[in-house]
Amino acid sequence: MHHRRPPAHSDKRTLRRELLQVRNRFTADDVEAASGALAERALELPELARAGTVAAYVSVGSEPGTLALLDALRARGVRVLLPVLLPDNDLDWGEYAGAESLARVRHGGRMELLEPAGDRLGPDAVTTADAVLLPGLAVDARGMRLGRGGGSYDRVLARLERADAHPALVVLLYDPEVVGHVPEEAHDRPVHAVVTPSAVRRFGNV
């Protein structure tokens, strides 16, 4: 009997669920400890060392913590852009001006995000970044990333492509989230590097 492979999007759903179950067991202390180590590792990346502008994000819940890294980048004089979720799941951007400049915003009862107060720079602001930090749930040995499924960063990546912008794409994860294989769809593109609390891994195929 001939078995067809399930479509990538159903494989992705299953893998997402498994990875989130593990992530949700982390304590606040686990997240905090990972945050400091992640910042140290990420700051060693040449792609971040020479960046004038970095598009990043504020971690929520059990995501690997990004605030220590945002503050370290800002202390270096880097312009840090942070996303603002729009009603259609696209992203606008604002400049990070320190932890006290973040506002808690609830999006339609779904989730509470920390977003930059201050001026909105427009969705195309991301095309000025030298490096883009992407949230995710896993990256595989080829540099393919499994996102959270909301589609916001698919739009960001499509916008970069349309603008012929080529920033370094970096995913921040926990160590066990670097996996053997992530199912991909035709529009998926590999990233340049993954940073975990214990290591930096760069992919030479992009």
Residue 158 one-letter amino acid? A
Q: Is residue 14 annotated as involved in ligand binding?
A: yes
Q: Is residue 13 annotated as involved in ligand binding?
A: yes
Q: Is residue 155 annotated as involved in ligand binding?
A: no
Q: Is residue 63 annotated as involved in ligand binding?
A: yes
- Kindly give the interhelix angle for 28-43 and 67-75, rounded to the nearest 10 degrees: 30
Q: Is residue 149 annotated as involved in ligand binding?
A: yes
SS3 28: helix
CA 125 to chain centre: 16
* Dihedral sign computed on CA atoms, order 202, 195, 24, 100: negative
Q: Is residue 95 annotated as involved in ligand binding?
A: no
Of residues 14, 81, 66, 4, the one with CA closest to residue 35 = 66
Reading the block at residue 147, the tokens are: 């996102």
Q: Is residue 147 annotated as involved in ligand binding?
A: yes
Binding-site residues for ATP = 12-16, 145-153
Give the residue ranges of the annotated binding site: 12-16, 58, 63, 145-153
Residues annotated within the binding site for substrate are 58, 63
